[in-house]
Amino acid sequence: MTNLLPTAAALHTIWVRQHNRLARNLKIINPIWEDERLFQEARRIVIAQLQHITFNEFLPILLGKDRLRESGLQLRRNTFDSDYNIKTNPGTLNEYASSAGLFFFSLFPGTLGFTDSKGEISQQRAIGNLFNDPSSIYQKGRLEGTIRTLLHEPISRLNTPHIDVEFRDKFMRGPDKYGVDLAAMIIQMGRDHGLDSFTSWRKLCRLSRPTSFTELPDIFLPESPLEEFKSIYPHVDDIDLFVGGLAERPLPGAFLGPTFSCIIERQFERLRHGDRFWYENFFEPSAFTLKQLSTIRESTMAGVICDNTDDIGMIQPNVFQQADNYLNCPIDCNTTSIIPRLNLNHWRDEEHRSQLPITKETLEKAVRLGAEQFRRLQEAENGRLSRQPRPATGDLHQIPSALFTHASLMAPKRESLDIALTAGILSETTKILIRGVALNVSERLPSELSVETLQRLLPEVDVSRVVGNFTALVGGHTQNRKECLPKPLPCDHTAIYRTFSGWCNNLQFPHFGNAFEPLRRILDPVYDDGFDLPRTKGRNGRPLPSARHVSNLVHLEALPENESESRFHVKFSHMVMQFGQILDHDMTHSPVARGPNNAILNCSRCDSFDTLSVHCFPIQIDPSDPHFPGRHSDGSPRCMPFTRSLLGQLTLGYRNQLNQLTSFLDASYIYGSTECEANALRLFNRGRMNFTNLGYNKQALPQGLQERDCLSRPQFSCFNAGDERSNEQPGLTVLHTIFLRQHNQIALALSKINNFWSDEQIFQETRRILIAKLQHVVYNEWLPVVLGCELMARYDLMPRKSGYYEGYDPNCDASISQEFATAAMRFGHTLIRNVFPRMNSSYNHGWEGVKLETTFNNASPIYDENNGHMESILMGLLGSAGMDYDRFIVDAVRNHLFQRPGGPLTGLDLPAVNIQRGRDHGIPPYNSYRQICGFERASNFEDLLDTMDEAAVNALKAAYASVDDVDLFPGIMSEKPLKGALVGPMLAWQLAEIRTTTLSRMICESSEYAHRIQPNAFLLPDELVNAPIKCSELPATNLYEWLDRNFCVVDQRVINMGKNRRITPCVTCTCTAEGPECHSITIERCEELFEDYLLNEIKKDTVCVIQCARAIHEYEKRAESRRRK
């Protein structure tokens, strides 16, 4: 049919040009795309444009817009389509192919010519002389002339059922005198195919079925030859479908009659709902992105013609309708505001990358070998674990204390373990591809590729369709992920409440910031082998100093000669540290690796990497260590246990690690990061969270077994919370409790205000409010203390005082970075005190403080009623200073972290663990980050004096052989804080009510001791600028703004929706759906006010006083005069 007529050949040419133009432009945008991908993507776009133009421009003319909407064929304006039905057969209907779909032959005129840019037509020829002869469009400008004719000339059929004689007598005649009758051929084809008659199809389409020829005038066009119908057909039921369909009166607003419309509707409904690759569908991986879909929805036939013709001239926006100076005015093709063009930038790869020569077959082979190698490694590791001596049941002290406690706190969740299985296979697959082991010469990667190039290219290889076939070899619990981490698509853009996992927070990139996603990297990793082995070598190739050695030289606690000289901060309270820790637990949790069957790895032996697991990375202890002996009693070297982080990359390439939490500030430490975790913490009664009543502490965290290493059990149970680390130390447990109480307090208030709300609605709305309040505290109170006003202003971090934030960027990936998780957010470790003071409500030291080194994972201080239980610890956080921000870290966490009672040598070194974790994750050295943060790269240690003091530089110089070896954590901890900051240089009505939130007010509402409190909880009480005040003097959130009602309340007056009421003598308010709108009244005669209102009421109304001050004064004089009489 391509060459049937020049017009058909011209349109075919337009679409071929469109394909080639798209392919050419896609190549420019993505130069690394190969021919096959360019072809398939251009084909996919062309098909999408054809589908859109057909349904958006062509079918509305044939069927009418109303009919299109009623039949469900109207396209969506945004989002994806979800009407695909696997049971729908998209095959072509016989009635469409051999009758209804051929209606267009009745539209052709008898002649065709060429129209020039001025609209003048020339060289008209009878169509009978043009069949199968496309030569007329070969000459320059003739294709455009043919297209202009299609644009300018009206169709032949207008209220007539006739087909031009050129198609009836001369169709396909060629050089012969006679051709064939196309209309007769179509009628005969219908009979050959056994099509039902016209009247039968009217019945099938639920239309009136004529029983005699006398009923046809009401159905057919006036020009229909009714007498010929009677003479041709013996009975009205004998009328052929094609003949009757063409003769029908068109529907209102449509071109076709109801019978052909019915058949065409059915055909196109099948095409749309039975096509898995329909352009609006959301099925991965064939779905377009929302931005791609949006620009495809701007496609028009006019735009396609403009893009693929030379000087077409003026063109009407809707080419299927004739030009009209009012409704379809011809415009220049360059008027892109009216004829928009496809924006191919939405098909641009994020980065231009070279392509690795890996075939699908090679990839499948490598993954299969990687899966087998990973399985063998697991079996071997399981054998080594089984040969280790096991402690007796309950005899946990035989396991190194810190190892078990730390492994419990950093335990992977089931979802993480599932991901780690896939990551393990991909890690081994990467090694096979890099080394070429078991691959043929033709399958190996080019030897000239550098490590940096492979780091960049390997993650781009699509393994999603391959690796799933092999994960079954190593097990997994995918059902748990489906239940607890649902990932529905398309995202509901109308959703009010955030998901627990972060899914669909970003509608365009639903996975951004999700729980159980890999950490992002600011800089590429510096693993020893480029991909997996931790960073252990310095610039000169020699081993880096032990992390413990660096800790001893750089982070050793600075002990004063007397307590009064301790390095406490002069301004900031200990709450800065404590809030910072719970904030960190809202955003980051990278679990450590486990052995087969989720076994804890005892990586305390210095040779455990070789004798136990490749995930062991123990920290060496020097013979001269000031706290830990360098050797065990048997003479073997002593190491500090350290297990590498769990594998988390779901791509080929370098090792990456997981974040088990969402990256958003969504209070996941209260609610968890999966639906299952949230449900386990809920009471399912009036929207509340579960709690334990201890009598003296009526709303404590719920007791439970979440803490695997609870040292106070069985006498004092540990607690459950949204984050499993809630019992790590008492101060953290205190804040968890405060926020639990805050949730339940808001929930109860909302349940009273809106007593018809369900538990689910109360819970979700409470969660939404509390998250907003906590976000406000972070940005309004905590960050200004940590960063200082200058950095807050420079990076636009200050929250708005009114209105809405308009800086949301859907292209910004909120996922936590490696550098933030392993170094920057650990700055608070320098603020920790050895002892957490206990204070009473007057900030007096009434009890002995809580020693941190003896209370890790020990809940007993929370139960200590005689010493003020949690309340006295809370007041101590508010009333005592945190340590100075410097490189020094107290011994409680530098020598005694997680140590067992009575076991002084069983602890860990927190700064050493931080340094080792950075090396485990392949974090580049500190010097690399100076450059990206605007500082010159240091060429020697003295160059660091621009951000550090001399003592800090000397300490680093003593620890490291080169300035390029300095780890990120000790580097940033050695910086001097900025002026007015804590850290160094690298680091609507309801809305109005949220903005009243302060941490101090939240503590007031949730504490029994806090009757008077400083307004800023992060600053020490100060009688001048931060003096403690009564809790009642702090602004509280008015939850009546969440009253779900069809009325408004203003000054305790009820106004029904849509009604107006005068609430003061000179102010009137209207209740709208968005709340009350109040305006002043213009008083024309002030004397009338005194007839309706009391003088005191008038004087209280400022609006009245402004307008009627003189009248009020005179009224008071008259009143006074009357009293005297």
- What is the C-alpha to C-alpha distance for residues 621 and 512, in angstroms, rounded to an integer? 40
Residue 472 has pLDDT above 60, yes or no: no
Output the six-digit token pair for 241: 């479908």
Q: Within a 10 A sphere around the Cβ of 308, how many other Cβ atoms? A: 19
Going by pLDDT thresholds of 50, 70 and 90, the confidence category of residue 999 is: confident
What confidence category does residue 352 fall into, taking pLDDT thresholds of 50, 70 and 90? very low
773-791 tens-digit pLDDT:
999 899 888 888 888 777 7
- If pLDDT is split at 50, 70 and 90, which confidence band does 375 have? very high
Angle at 297 between CA 294 and CA 303, to 5 degrees: 120
Confidence band (pLDDT; 50, 70, 90) for 993?
Answer: low
* DSSP one-letter code for 1047: E
Mean pLDDT of 942-960: 94
Q: Which residue has the tokens 């007769």?
A: 184
Residue with tokens 């969506």: 76
Instruction: Please state whether the peptide bond connecting residue 861 to the residue before it is cis, i.e. omega within 30 degrees of 0.
Output: no
Looking at residue 104, what is its pLDDT?
87
Residue type, 1087: E
Say whether 658 sits in a helix, a strand or coil: strand
Give me the pLDDT at residue 390, please: 58
H-helix or E-strand spanning residue 16: helix 6-29
The tens digit of pLDDT for each residue in 190-225 reads 999 999 999 999 999 999 999 999 999 999 998 888
Could you read off the pLDDT of 732-746 as tens digits, one per residue?
Answer: 999 999 999 999 999
Decide: 652 and 640 in contact? Cβ < 8 Å.
no
Residue 992 has pLDDT above 60, yes or no: no
pLDDT at residue number 566? 60
| pLDDT computed for residue 591 by the predictor | 95
178 burial via Cβ count (<10 Å: 0-12, 13-18, 19+): exposed
C-alpha to C-alpha distance for 965 and 927, rounded to whole angstroms: 8
pLDDT digits (tens, 9 = 90+) for 55-110: 999 999 899 887 888 888 888 876 777 677 888 899 999 999 999 999 988 888 88
Banded pLDDT at 312 (limits 50, 70, 90): confident
pLDDT band for position 979 (cuts 50, 70, 90): low
- Considering only residues 49 and 1036, tell me which one the structure prediction assigns the higher pLDDT: 49
Q: Which of 56-65, 571-580, 998-1007, 1077-1086 has the lowest mean pLDDT?
A: 1077-1086
Element (H, E) at 1060: strand 1060-1064
pLDDT of residue 68: 84
pLDDT of the residue at 469: 64
How many helices (H) and strands (E) the chain has is answered by 41, 19
Annotation: binding site: 829
pLDDT score for 742: 95
- Selection from 622, 874, 850 nearest residue 736 by Cα: 874
At residue 981 the predicted structure's pLDDT band, cuts being 50, 70 and 90, is: low
Q: Residues 933, 934, 940, 942: is their CA dihedral positive or negative?
A: negative
The pLDDT value recorded for residue 1074 is 63
So what's the pLDDT on residue 471?
59
Say what the pLDDT of residue 350 is.
57
* pLDDT over 80 (residue 234): yes
pLDDT at 564 over 50: no
Write the pLDDT tens digit of every residue in 392-423: 434 444 444 688 888 889 999 999 999 999 99
- Answer for the pair 733, 726: CB distance below 8 angstroms, yes or no: yes
Residue 925: DSSP 8-state = P
What is the torsional sign of CA 372, 374, 377, 382? negative
977 has a pLDDT exceeding 90: no
Mean pLDDT calculated for residue range 34-56: 95
CB 186 within 8 A of CB 242: yes
Residues belonging to the binding site for heme b are 829
Distance CA 1093, CA 1088 (A): 9
CA distances from 104 to 134, 242, 256, 382 (A): 20, 12, 10, 73
- 504: phi > 0 → left, psi -120 to 50 → alpha, else beta; which? left
Q: So what's the pLDDT on residue 249?
A: 92
| Contact indicator for 952, 884 with CB cutoff of 8 Å | no
Cis omega (within 30 of 0) on the bond before 525? no
Reported as a single tens digit per residue, the pLDDT across 881-933 is 999 888 999 999 999 999 887 777 889 999 999 999 999 999 999 999 987 77
Produce one character per residue of 139-158: b if its CB has 16 or more CB atoms within 10 Å, e if not. Answer: eeebbbbbbbbbbbeeebbe
- Residue 757 token pair: 């709300």
Q: Which of 595-604, 955-964, 986-995 has the lowest mean pLDDT?
A: 986-995
- Pairing of the two strands 1067-1072 and 1075-1080: antiparallel
Q: Identify the pLDDT of residue 563.
A: 46
Please report, rounded to a whole number, the percentage of residues in the chain having pLDDT higher than 90: 47
Q: Is the dihedral of CA 952, 958, 959, 965 positive or negative?
A: positive
Tens digit of pLDDT for each residue in 251-286? Answer: 888 889 999 999 999 999 999 999 989 998 877 677
pLDDT for 238 equals 95
pTM of the model: 0.66
- Give the confidence band of 1125 by pLDDT, cuts at 50, 70, 90: low
Contacts by 384-392, CB closer than 8 A, 24 or more apart: 384/611, 384/612, 384/613, 385/595, 385/596, 385/599, 385/601, 385/612, 385/613, 388/602, 388/612
**Across residues 456-477, what is the average pLDDT?**
70
Res 990 pLDDT > 70: no
Domains defined along the chain, listed by start: 1-84+109-152+276-351 (1.10.640.10), 85-108+155-274 (no CATH), 358-388+397-477+589-647 (no CATH), 1047-1124 (no CATH)
pLDDT of residue 15: 95
N residues, the chain: 1125
* pLDDT cut 70: percent of the chain above it: 92
The mean pLDDT value of the chain amounts to 87
Return the structure tokens found at 545.
């100093």
SS percent in the chain: helix, strand, coil, step 5? 45, 10, 45
User: Bigger pLDDT: 480 or 173?
Assistant: 173
What pLDDT does residue 1081 have?
82
DSSP symbols for 351-363: S--------HHHH
What is the per-residue pLDDT for 82?
A: 67
Cβ 841 vs Cβ 1013: under 8 Å: no
d(CA 616, CA 467): 26
